[in-house]
Amino acid sequence: MRAPGTPTIRLTIARSPHELATLAADAVVEALPGDRAPVLGVATGSSPSGVYVELARRQAAGEIDLRDASAFALDEYVGLPDGDPHSYRAVVDEQVVVPLGLDPARVHVPHGSAADLAAEAASYERRISEAGGVDVQILGIGRNGHIAFNEPGSALDSRTREAELAPETIADNARFFDNPDQVPRRCVTQGVGTILDARRIVLVAQGEAKADALAHALEDAVSPAWPATALQQHADVIVIVDEAAASSLTPEARAAAGVGIR
């Protein structure tokens, strides 16, 4: 059991969706370099969506300038045709590229339709490295503890690769498709080790469905059984969650909430 509230993971329990998005955007902006164009790591899903809305508001207000930023998505489905509206390329374009005014040429998503997925994965790792690495990774968490599509059992030093989706993940993602049979079974995902290379990680989680996974991630020993526990090995992780997502945390972990944030 890892003692909660240690300096490597700073936890805040937000009182509203607006506060969660604001605090997460603060944590992202704080990590942006001032002497060069930033490199963002972007996650898809419902939990991070408000963060992008808040960053876009700040961009429109002239409070930040991300027009020269590069961005790398965490993952992509295998088997969807190019341009499919269910693809994470489409989601990233809608939620990140257009609202933030990013140059699409600087926004990278794995090509799940590539003929050689191993070569695509190696190329993706290379592109991240050539960009100078990710300055700040926005991250969500799956109810089985996955980060990106690193399902339980993933090696904690894994790199970008083709992977199989867990049944829980397929079931959770079925809500985005007309028919559950349409949900892809495989993906290309950044590895746990790839994610841990980011200089800062900002994890956001909302809803009771994420509560057990969050408790395991913050309080269990580091283990591939709960891939998100690997975040405990990173030097700069900020976790911002709502009350529902925090509902399974121990009193000790809850008491430590807010260290380094508020």
**DSSP alpha helices (H): ranges in the chain?**
17-30, 46-60, 88-92, 98-100, 117-130, 167-173, 192-196, 211-219, 251-255
8 A C-beta contact, residue 89 and residue 120: no
In the set 76, 111, 144, 242, the catalytic residue is: 144
> Closest Cα to residue 177, out of 246, 84, 71?
84
CB 71 within 8 A of CB 135: no
Residue 94 in 3-state DSSP?
Answer: helix
Do the Cβ atoms of 133 and 149 come closer than 8 Å?
Answer: no
The angle subtended at Cα 220 by Cα 216 and Cα 221, nearest 5°, is: 140
Catalytic residue among 108, 111, 120, 146: 146
93 assigned to active site: no
Which member of 75, 76, 135, 242 is catalytic?
75
Q: 3-state SS of the chain: helix, strand, coil percent to 5?
A: 40, 20, 45
Task: Find the helix packing angle between 17-30 and 46-60, rounded to 10°.
Answer: 70
The catalytically annotated residue of 76, 135, 151, 242 is: 151
User: Could you confirm whether 108 is annotated as catalytic?
Assistant: no
Write the DSSP symbol of residue 257. Answer: T
Concerning whether 30 is annotated as a catalytic residue, the answer is no
Separation between Cα atoms, residue 165 and residue 117, nearest integer Å: 16
Query: What contacts 144, CB < 8 A, 6 or more positions away?
Result: 151, 152, 166, 168, 169, 213
Decide if 130 is catalytic: no
Structure tokens at 210: 């994420």
Write out the catalytic residue numbers: 75, 144, 146, 151
